[in-house]
Amino acid sequence: MTDRVAPRPWRLALPSMGGGWPLVLGLLVVGFWVTVAATVSLWPLDDPLQMVAKRLQPPSAAHLLGTDALGRDVLSRTLHGATFSIAIAIVVVVAAAAIGIFLGAIAGFFGGILGGAIMRLVDVTLAFPPILLAMAVAATLGPGLENAAIAMILVWWPLYARLMRAQVLEVREREHVEAAVAAGAGPFRVLFKHVLPLCFTPVLINATMDFGQVVLLAASLSFIGLGATPPTPEWGAMISEGAKQFYHWWIALGPGLAILTVVLGFNFVGDGLRDLLDPQTD
């Protein structure tokens, strides 16, 4: 095997839960948050952007998670935050996987100067600690969730490219591919018909496991001021506001628990899927 795929550590940070309940639990949690993200505007909640009560009130029956420095309802803001986090996770993972699959397949199948160039770009990108590169790119593009998403796509695609290339290299050597080539099929036909379909499973598994990590990185960027702009109720930004009002602990409680459960849910699902689709790992 050449160029063994070195997965980033967080891939391994997900302890396999073995049995089936983690998948079920994960699907339930993720399902809950996806539902919230899709329907939150229909819920009978306070306006997440407007002052609805006295500022900095601790949790009470009227405001279960209290109010923030501008008198906004923390519960409502936390639930509205799901929209941004779920959307950004989907966009980043799908875009990064698409770019990575495309470039990785080209590099693996055709090789040559183009393939070499792609892989050197992958090497340099992966030499950066991910958060440093994301910080630099996000700072270059300016504040805003869209720009944070672009930064994360730029950080993430090389992982898929490397994975895809390794897969393609392996599949290319199989007999049925060689037979197709011998039968006179064109290179693109061979690539799309005979090679790619066999490469997708590991990429898919990785993608499902990445959702949670993208949610975490997006929140981290917002926390250090490089993601969502106010008054967007994004979880990382809300925790950052809560950190400034440290003694009013409830401001950061809701968004923190939200991130924790979403990431945990995605991790359960990804892990369960891996056991389901790819039983020989672990």
- Footprint on residues 110-129 left by another protein (CB under 8 A): 120, 123-124, 127-129
> Six-digit token pair at 8?
């980033």
> Would you count residue 193 as binding another protein (CB under 8 A)?
no
Phi, psi of 229 (to 5 degrees): -100, 150
**Which lies closer to another protein via its Cβ, residue 54 or residue 188?**
54
111 dihedral zone (left: phi>0; alpha: psi -120 to 50; beta):
left
**Which lies closer to another protein via its Cβ, residue 52 or residue 180?**
52
The count of residues interacting with another protein (CB under 8 A) is: 72
Q: Least distance in Å: CB of 169 to another protein?
A: 13
> Would you count residue 223 as binding another protein (CB under 8 A)?
yes
Interface region with another protein, contact rule CB under 8 A, candidates 108-116, 131-139, 163-171, 188-196: 131-139
> Would you count residue 17 as binding another protein (CB under 8 A)?
yes
- Footprint on residues 226-245 left by another protein (CB under 8 A): 229-231, 236, 239, 241-245
SS3 content of the chain, % helix, strand, coil (to 5): 70, 0, 30
CA–CA dist 55, 244 (Å, integer): 14
> Would you count residue 183 as binding another protein (CB under 8 A)?
no
> Would you count residue 143 as binding another protein (CB under 8 A)?
yes
Q: Least distance in Å: CB of 127 to another protein?
A: 5
Interface region with another protein, contact rule CB under 8 A, candidates 81-89, 157-165, 190-198, 264-272: 264-272
Interface region with another protein, contact rule CB under 8 A, candidates 75-83, 162-170, 173-181, 257-265: 257-265
Q: Least distance in Å: CB of 225 to another protein?
A: 5
Phi, psi of 132 (to 5 degrees): -65, -45
Task: Indicate the Cα dihedral angle 231, 232, 238, 243, nearest 10°.
Answer: -40
DSSP states of 205-237 as a string?
HHHHHHHHHHHHHHHHHHHTTSSPPTT---HHH
> Six-digit token pair at 273?
């899927």
Interface region with another protein, contact rule CB under 8 A, candidates 86-94, 95-103, 177-185, 248-256: 248-256
DSSP reduced 3-state for 184: coil
Quickly tell me which residue has 């949790």 as its tokens: 59
- Footprint on residues 61-90 left by another protein (CB under 8 A): 69-71
Q: Which of 5, 52, 53, 56 binds another protein (CB under 8 A)?
A: 56
**Which lies closer to another protein via its Cβ, residue 34 or residue 181?**
34
114-120, Cβ contacts within 8 angstroms, sequence gap of 24 or more: 115/165, 118/161, 119/3, 119/161, 119/162, 119/165
**Which lies closer to another protein via its Cβ, residue 98 or residue 131?**
131
Q: Which of 147, 145, 134 is nearest to 228 (CA)?
A: 145
SS (H, E, C) 107-118: HHHHCHHHHHHH
Q: Least distance in Å: CB of 166 to another protein?
A: 12
Largest CA distance in the chain: 76
Interface region with another protein, contact rule CB under 8 A, candidates 2-10, 86-94, 108-116, 201-209: 2-10
